Structure 1
């Protein structure tokens, strides 16, 4: 590929935003071993597997931004070949689905997946113990993920999804969480939601971002627009089986 330097290069930072690069870019390129940051926003990348292969000889790469492409990942067997040095990966505004969690760098700390097509996080995902910050905003997730697979998670952004009934267990499961942004979801104000609202009340006020103004009932119709913090339903009506 013409972009690959012929001699070992000293570049640490490359930004090729808004070009027409395809999946062949930097394939088999072993002269960028000092590159630390690579930005390929707004190109024509389509295959996340090939993106991972592209990095395998970039031995110093820490930050990769491939947002605003058309990336998908369809290899059900896994086996992506990311270089092990990547800690920050921006995959936002692509066409990625749940399978993306099977194709991530092994020591990833900051992962941006907002504005994709993710519906759920596969239960059997492994290797995300180092992940500290996860942005899943503007996807189609119906549930708050627990931290069973994300044991280091401290920041979770999951606003603008389809979470109607967030589990109160979230705060027990996610002991290291410092910031949760989960507003602008279609909350179903029912007995089950009371526990979540109570647990929000028990954590420090700056932990739940956008509370209370971004957290409103979506249904039933009679509560639509009511802030979660003002939603009240009697013990009695909840305990009738």
Structure 2
């Protein structure tokens, strides 16, 4: 990829390949295709120091070398949507602390961890929707005290540690919709975190943040499932436990009413175990409320 020359004006919309960049621009839009990897020399010019907004969308970028954006000393907004990038590397920048907004929608990112954005300490907006993200490390955003907008929608996430949400001290909105969320009982901490986000009006498109598993809860909003039913110890002891990690499923609450939890009421009547073989783990199947 060779550096294109910018036309006159505040916004440079460039589609041709030349040798130099004109000085004085604040926004640079590169309209390219089939770029492949951006090497460390392609975008090097002292004239790029004034650029605060860079957009290279739908350009067929497969990789970016370290220091590729080192000439953009005052870059505040970077958009790389619609490419084929599988990772974010803060070593792309000479001054990563200058960046405020980063958009990588519709790329191939699979994992977000501590090193992904740790040097982007002044980041306020991170858009990672429509990637292939399966895992977000609990401390991924521990350095982002100013991050206010985060979009992880339309990925492949089934669970996120509550620590991720707790570390977002400046959060105003988060997109988590259209992920295959697991609402089984061993993910109760995640479900509780989603309920808290909704109660604070921070959860974007809450009706689309739905359970994928277990099957009885497929399609139910994550924030609308109640706590797992708890059986008395005397009853639990009568069921064989083949899988000690299996804890059953949540129950769905009525969308038109107040969220409720279903628990067996105390009784003095002896409880006789059902002769019907229960689900794996030896627990009774929870009653699912009609929605």
Q: TM-score, normalised to structure 2's length? A: 0.68
Q: In structure 2, what is the Cα distance between the partners aligned to 1:52 and 1:124?
A: 25
Q: In structure 1, what is the Cα distance between the partners aligned to 2:186 and 2:45?
A: 45
In the alignment, which residue of structure 2 is the partner of 1:172?
166
The answer (yes or no) to whether the contact 1:65–1:90 under 8 Å persists in 2 is: yes
The answer (yes or no) to whether the contact 2:82–2:105 under 8 Å persists in 1 is: yes
In the alignment, which residue of structure 2 is the partner of 1:57?
47
Give the deviation of 1:216 after TM superposition.
Answer: 1.1
Unaligned runs of at least 5 residues, structure 1 = none
Aligned pair count reads 227
Unaligned runs of at least 5 residues, structure 2 = 232-245, 249-280, 282-291
Q: In structure 2, what is the Cα distance between the partners aligned to 1:210 and 1:180?
A: 9
Answering whether residue 112 of structure 2 is matched by residue 121 of structure 1, we say yes
In the alignment, which residue of structure 2 is the partner of 1:206?
201
Larger Rg computed on CA atoms: 2
What SS does structure 2 have at the residue aligned with 1:138?
coil
Give the deviation of 1:118 after TM superposition.
Answer: 0.3
Q: In structure 2, what is the Cα distance between the partners aligned to 1:134 and 1:51?
A: 26
Q: 1:143 to 1:122 in 2, by over 3 A?
A: closer
Q: In structure 2, what is the Cα distance between the partners aligned to 1:129 and 1:45?
A: 29
Question: 133, 141, 156: which is aligned to 2:133?
Answer: 141
Higher relative contact order (Cα pairs below 8 Å, separated by 6+ residues): 1
Matches within 5 A, 1:74-93: 75=65, 78-80=66-68, 81-93=70-82
Give the deviation of 1:83 after TM superposition.
Answer: 1.4
166-175 vs 102-111, which deviates more?
102-111
Q: 1:54 to 1:45 in 2, by over 3 A?
A: farther
Give the deviation of 1:74 after TM superposition.
Answer: 5.6
In the alignment, which residue of structure 1 is the partner of 2:185?
191
- CA RMSD, aligned part only? 2.9
In the alignment, which residue of structure 2 is the partner of 1:162?
156
What SS does structure 2 have at the residue aligned with 1:124?
helix
The answer (yes or no) to whether the contact 1:120–1:141 under 8 Å persists in 2 is: yes
Q: In structure 1, what is the Cα distance between the partners aligned to 2:12 and 2:125?
A: 24
What SS does structure 2 have at the residue aligned with 1:58?
helix
Q: TM-score, normalised to structure 1's length? A: 0.81
Q: 1:47 to 1:192 in 2, by over 3 A?
A: same
